[in-house]
Amino acid sequence: MSFDTTEANRRTAVFDDHDELWLFGYGSLIYKAGFDYIERAPATIEGWVRRYWQGSHDHRGTPHAPGRVVTLVEAPGASCLGMAYRVTPAVFDYLDHREKNGYLRFAQPMTFVDGHTEKGLVYIATPDNAAWLGEAPVEDIAAQVVASTGPSGPNRDYVLNLADALAELDADDAHCQAVAARVRELIVA
Ligand code: SIN
């Protein structure tokens, strides 16, 4: 698979025929929307966990020195808290470009705080994508993050902004907390 998933997303056109839809954000989309939305609300998706297992060659790193950003990894029984946005398909051009480094559009159910469920869109970078880095010890992930920077800024800002956003949501995410804690230690050392 190519690094650039823009065309694949356009071809599969998941949700293109909807007037409105819910988009689930679990990474930078929580703290930086960057697009117009009708409303937003915290939501969870079941059976997935957030992991710093995706390479970033275009935002928080470079092709020669990729950073690490989050994707969702299947984990039966787990649930992942994020932010859902009610949007129109007008956002797809922007999102397909922003998420082009390996992320594909998927249709997934999401559950809101009041218990109701909606099938919506989520961008996921799966293990078969060309920018996938995979599992690594927290120490190695944090060291890579601290060493990486890209066109969207230092990788450490992504990690610390996401940690703050997850704390604001009261999300219980041991993996992201551990990576952020180690990044904080490394940058003050
Ligand atoms: C997301 O936030 O939903 C996708 C991953 C990212 O852009 O950080």
Domains (ranges, CATH) in the chain? 6-188 (3.10.490.10)
pTM over 0.85: yes
Q: What is the mean pLDDT of residues 141-149?
A: 98
Assigned token pair, 55: 């390479």
- DSSP for 7-53, please give it: HHHHHH-TTTT-SSEEEEE-SHHHH---S--SEEEEEEEEEEEEEEE
Say whether pLDDT at 113 is over 70.
yes
In sign, the C-alpha dihedral spanning 61, 79, 94, 92 is positive
pLDDT tens by residue, 37-92: 999 999 999 999 999 999 999 999 999 999 999 999 999 999 999 999 999 999 99
Determine the distance separating the centroid of ligand 1 and the alpha carbon of 45, expressed in angstroms.
14
Determine the distance separating the centroid of ligand 1 and the alpha carbon of 53, expressed in angstroms.
12
Q: Whose CA is nearest to atom 2 of ligand 1?
A: 27
pLDDT at 11: 87
Helix or strand holding residue 160 (H, E): helix 155-169
Catalytic residues: 99
Whether 101 lines ligand 1, by a CB cut-off of 6 Å, is no
* Average pLDDT value for the chain: 95
Burial class, 19, CB count within 10 angstroms (exposed 0-12 / middle 13-18 / buried 19+)? exposed
CA 33: distance to chain centroid? 12
For tokens 């937003």, the residue is: 40
Q: Whose CA is nearest to atom 4 of ligand 1?
A: 27
Cα separation, 86 vs 16, whole angstroms = 14
The per-type count for the chain, helices as H runs and strands as E runs, is 6, 7
pLDDT at 1: 43
Closest by Cα among 150, 177, 174, 141 to 60: 150
Say whether pLDDT at 137 is over 60.
yes
What ligand 1 atom has the least distance to the C-alpha of 59?
Answer: 7
Cα separation, 27 vs 18, whole angstroms = 24
Say whether pLDDT at 189 is over 90.
no
pLDDT at 2: 54
Determine the distance separating the centroid of ligand 1 and the alpha carbon of 27, expressed in angstroms.
4
